[in-house]
A and B are shown apart, each in its own frame.
Chain A
């Protein structure tokens, strides 16, 4: 293994490999930063450029692009509350409040550094655990996927700010919206008035509408207000190194979680970041700051969604099963090069997996360097006056929605959800549970029904697998604990009000 790893690193003796790495990182960084475009589209765009290249050179560029694009989503999430992908939604929860407090530079700095560390740690795990953990991930059948989705959803309760009832309402809205589209088992259209809705509500326009366009409406309403000036990001000597170091626990836990969730083929970077965020909040000394501008929140989400990149690579390399939509595109790229990912990859083309390990590591400093250079420039975006930023964000929303499918339909969806998001925020209904339920609702329903089909209608499938039972218990606890806390608090409040009891 050491020998193969050394040969993986030795690929970087070729300047063309470096060029590919830097080019991939730059393109990925930019594509990730544009809402509506994402890592899978970026990789697909780069494939034509790889035709004439050596497989090692092209795979390095593609991996670098994937990692950088997964990070790039954080930039718009932090600066303008527009998470371009669902994996960056959790980053926006704390990143945008930080931006509003004039700490955009710090949030960007933390996001890029923790993203890099997330990849670094997870790539190390990938090297040693890709094969055994991928085999383990095969034990996830429909029943397990259902239970995992339920765990994700149960965390909503922990994330909901303010009223528990409003959180539940938001979750209900999300679940209801997730039922739109063709039924995945029978093909029957549900709530799909037009054919455009057959594949369900498109996620990117919904995200752009709920978060970004509703923000525009608020900015318009506020008019010109005095803005907190964003503190410029000084030289590296002035950075809060101590603050960064204090995040080590959060970053490590989130990286491991992100990696493991990334391996499971049916889960991905978005679920990884949601769960890591919720765990970080539960284990934090200052959970009350989450959602209001907690550096820990940004770190948890970003470390996890980037660690999921290495995670998604594991089943691709070990089994030939892509762990994410982007790695599915990558299989295509490898096949064009005449390389068949799968169980025989390690023996037949060992240079490929070990080059991927090497490029994940060597790619980290390159990506962080680009990110830091970018952060200085991006931080100024936070200083653009409100009316101007409103116009820019509205433009980005329209273009991003259009770009996601190349038709007008997602633009209409984005606009409708922008208005809905504005109304819900006015009513102080939290948006996070809607997105979480929309992402997880489909996974939950499809797998619940698939499980019942495979078990021929017997509910046994949900309590005979130890893995399913463990996940379901976790979900029940996560639902029940905040409820118990809520009841206790009320009782205590009642006792305080009535001393005679």
Chain B
């Protein structure tokens, strides 16, 4: 039922947006080599309205006219991503069914979904966004920098509460574990189910340090309710130029541990088709609507094609394995 409604809504929007475009005197639409045979199903692991969901719905606006087919967003939440992954893995490798993945797809294939799905069950087509995680505190906190945090953690022997997304073994927890080993301290990980929950707990003083991405936290930085301690990434963020990276503050962690959003499909998809899909999506990301959205949410554009992305996925899985082993989470 929801599928049909979605299809109807998307198809209607496609028609509506098309007619709007036409009436405005059709701007030049870039031609792409990817010519899907029918409407493209993009399967999501989230309910409608999540960060990844908004990403694809915004991208669809510029992608649809380029490929000449509507994008149908299929929400298949549940089972820690397995519902979506099953949907994608059972599809024909013809590019008509693809999915959106995040870092949690890789970590869950090493833990909960081990034996159910593996990296080899899919084609990793393209990366689209990178979203480094940042660590922050309330403005009135005694902690002002990573070294304050480390000093305090040493003094209080593991009683600093760090609140972030997901249970032990999640992407943000493993990032925190990297900081722990780089600094030789222990923190107390408090897992939350959503970013708003983390913000509520941090602002209410129920945890000492919060972890999240820039998008949802930007207004809190701007209104000076929180200050940043550090960015787990290669470079400082454009939207947060005053917050130094972990490396700058002398804590060596693997900076490829960033949140990613990418596109994947069923295995055995021809490399040529994968390249076409990657090119089309990257072309659509250059559109103004998409760029406006991406800049306002603070994400970094990522342009890896099928070869690089596949290598990246395998690389990250190795890092994750190492971290999970170090945390004693792999048998």
Seen from chain A, the residues whose Cβ lies within 8 Å of a Cβ on chain B are 34, 36-37, 40-41, 43-45, 47-49, 51-52, 137-142, 182-187, 189, 195-199, 202, 265-266, 315, 319-322, 325, 328-330, 332-333, 335-336, 338, 340-344, 399-400, 402-407, 409, 446, 450, 453-454, 456
Say yes or no: A47 contacts B49, CB within 8 Å: yes
Residues of A within 8 A of B206 (CB): 141-142, 454
Q: Provide the bound-state CA to CA distance between A137 and B201, in Å.
A: 10
Say yes or no: A340 contacts B292, CB within 8 Å: no
Q: Provide the bound-state CA to CA distance between A189 and B169, in Å.
A: 13
Say yes or no: A44 contacts B188, CB within 8 Å: no
Residues of A within 8 A of B167 (CB): 182-187
Residues of A within 8 A of B111 (CB): 187
Which of A44, A142, A320, A344 has the largest count of B CB atoms less than 10 A from its CB?
Answer: A44
Cβ of B57 < 8 Å from any Cβ of A? Answer: yes
A-contacting residues, B67-90, CB 8 Å: 74-80, 82-83
Say yes or no: A45 contacts B194, CB within 8 Å: no
Say yes or no: B1 contacts A198, CB within 8 Å: no
Say yes or no: A336 contacts B293, CB within 8 Å: yes
Say yes or no: A343 contacts B223, CB within 8 Å: yes
Residues of A within 8 A of B112 (CB): 182, 187, 189, 195, 198
Q: Provide the bound-state CA to CA distance between A44 and B46, in Å.
A: 12
Say yes or no: B83 contacts A405, CB within 8 Å: yes
Say yes or no: B53 contacts A332, CB within 8 Å: yes
Cβ of B218 < 8 Å from any Cβ of A? Answer: yes
Contact with A along B273-308 (1 / 0, CB 8 A): 000000000000000010011001100000000000
Cβ of B170 < 8 Å from any Cβ of A? Answer: yes
Which of B16, B189, B193, B206 has the largest count of A CB atoms less than 10 A from its CB?
Answer: B206
Cβ of B20 < 8 Å from any Cβ of A? Answer: yes
**Could you list some 23 contacts between A and B, CB below 8 A?**
A34-B1, A37-B1, A45-B5, A45-B9, A141-B206, A185-B191, A187-B167, A196-B79, A198-B78, A265-B197, A315-B200, A321-B200, A322-B196, A332-B54, A335-B215, A340-B218, A342-B219, A399-B1, A405-B78, A406-B3, A406-B76, A407-B78, A409-B83
Residues of B within 8 A of A344 (CB): 219, 222-223
Say yes or no: B78 contacts A40, CB within 8 Å: no
Q: Provide the bound-state CA to CA distance between A404 and B169, in Å.
A: 28
Contact with A along B165-204 (1 / 0, CB 8 A): 0111110000000000000000011111110110111011
Say yes or no: A266 contacts B188, CB within 8 Å: no
Q: Provide the bound-state CA to CA distance between A321 and B57, in Å.
A: 22
Contact with A along B43-57 (1 / 0, CB 8 A): 000011111011001
Q: Provide the bound-state CA to CA distance between A237 and B314, in Å.
A: 72
Residues of A within 8 A of B48 (CB): 40-41, 44-45, 47, 329
Say yes or no: A138 contacts B82, CB within 8 Å: no
Cβ of B17 < 8 Å from any Cβ of A? Answer: yes
A187-B167, A189-B112, A405-B78 known; A265-B17 Cβ under 8 A: no
A320-B219, A340-B296 known; A138-B1 Cβ under 8 A: no
Say yes or no: A454 contacts B196, CB within 8 Å: no
Cβ of B313 < 8 Å from any Cβ of A? Answer: no
A-contacting residues, B50-66, CB 8 Å: 50-51, 53-54, 57-58, 61
* A403: contacting residue among B1, B20, B166, CB under 8 A: B1
Q: Provide the bound-state CA to CA distance between A372 and B231, in Å.
A: 55
A-contacting residues, B203-251, CB 8 Å: 203-207, 215, 218-220, 222-223, 225
Cβ of B37 < 8 Å from any Cβ of A? Answer: no
Say yes or no: A266 contacts B200, CB within 8 Å: yes
For residue B226, give the distance in angstroms from its CB to the closest CB of chain A: 11
Say yes or no: B49 contacts A195, CB within 8 Å: no
For residue B140, give the distance in angstroms from its CB to the closest CB of chain A: 13
Residues of A within 8 A of B205 (CB): 138, 141
Cβ of B256 < 8 Å from any Cβ of A? Answer: no
Query: What 10 A-B pairs have minimum CB-CB distances, sorted nearest first?
Result: A44-B48, A342-B219, A329-B49, A403-B1, A141-B206, A138-B204, A343-B223, A187-B167, A195-B82, A48-B13
List the B residue with the shortest CB-CB distance to A139: B204
List the B residue with the shortest CB-CB distance to A341: B219
Residues of B within 8 A of A402 (CB): 1
List the A residue with the shortest CB-CB distance to B222: A344
Residues of B within 8 A of A198 (CB): 78-80, 82, 112
Say yes or no: B200 contacts A40, CB within 8 Å: no
Cβ of B116 < 8 Å from any Cβ of A? Answer: yes
For residue B84, give the distance in angstroms from its CB to the closest CB of chain A: 10
Residues of B within 8 A of A341 (CB): 219
A-contacting residues, B1-50, CB 8 Å: 1-3, 5-6, 9-10, 12-13, 16-17, 20, 47-50
Cβ of B161 < 8 Å from any Cβ of A? Answer: yes
List the B residue with the shortest CB-CB distance to A141: B206
For residue A125, give the distance in angstroms from its CB to the closest CB of chain B: 20
* A406: contacting residue among B2, B170, B297, CB under 8 A: B2
Q: Provide the bound-state CA to CA distance between A41 and B74, in Å.
A: 12
Cβ of B119 < 8 Å from any Cβ of A? Answer: no
A48-B57, A51-B13, A196-B83 known; A138-B219 Cβ under 8 A: no
Say yes or no: B219 contacts A454, CB within 8 Å: no
Say yes or no: B54 contacts A335, CB within 8 Å: yes
* B80: contacting residue among A51, A140, A182, A322, CB under 8 A: A182
Say yes or no: B220 contacts A40, CB within 8 Å: no
For residue A194, give the distance in angstroms from its CB to the closest CB of chain B: 8
Q: Provide the bound-state CA to CA distance between A342 and B53, in Å.
A: 21
Residues of B within 8 A of A406 (CB): 2-3, 74-76
Cβ of B141 < 8 Å from any Cβ of A? Answer: no
* A195: contacting residue among B79, B207, B292, CB under 8 A: B79
